[in-house]
Amino acid sequence: MKISTKGGDKGSTSLMFGKRVSKACQRVRTYGMVDELSASIALARAFATDLNLNKELLNIQENLVFLMTELATAKEDFPKLAEKNIKLLDETHLAEIESKIDEIESKGNVFNGWKQAGDTPISATLDMARVKCRATEREIVALNEEEGLARDFPLIYINRLSDYIYLLSIN
């Protein structure tokens, strides 16, 4: 598959299954923000000296690909994802994050008020990822208000993910 198709030279792009839309439409802004979030997590991963954290951040990036796939699909084309057996985020992904949040909180690492980020390079980059995650959440809300989501799961997942990234940043 060629990268340079010239199809976007006039400001449009293709969604999953070929529908053409403006590169400025809310759907493109939304999955583009997920891509920015993934890049922020990649930066944090580059600073992560803890192998378990590095592995966890890579897992989050892999899950964000599933999220981008869903968000890059027009609502009316959503059933085609299942027809093509394209993997999406599901309850197991959410349960995994919730379990990790519970694990961190069970160790007494809970929210005790806001603090300044930047004590270490990894905490600063994770805090940047958290901020990007919250911005992504706002874009998903805007997409839902403008076009409607095929399901609420992207909003639930990204909300939980921002909580998890916050806990990672303070620990």
pTM over 0.85: yes
Q: Residues 66-125: pLDDT tens digits?
A: 999 999 999 999 999 999 999 999 999 999 999 999 999 999 877 677 777 778 999 999
The single-letter code of the amino acid at 157 is: Y
Number of domains in the chain: 1
Measuring CA to CA, which residue among 36, 40, 31 is closest to residue 13?
31
Q: What residues make up the domain containing 70?
A: 21-170
CATH number of the domain residue 114 falls in: 1.20.1200.10
Q: Any alpha helices (H) in 48-83, and if so which ranges? A: 51-71, 78-83
**Residue that is written with structure tokens 């069970």 in the block:** 106
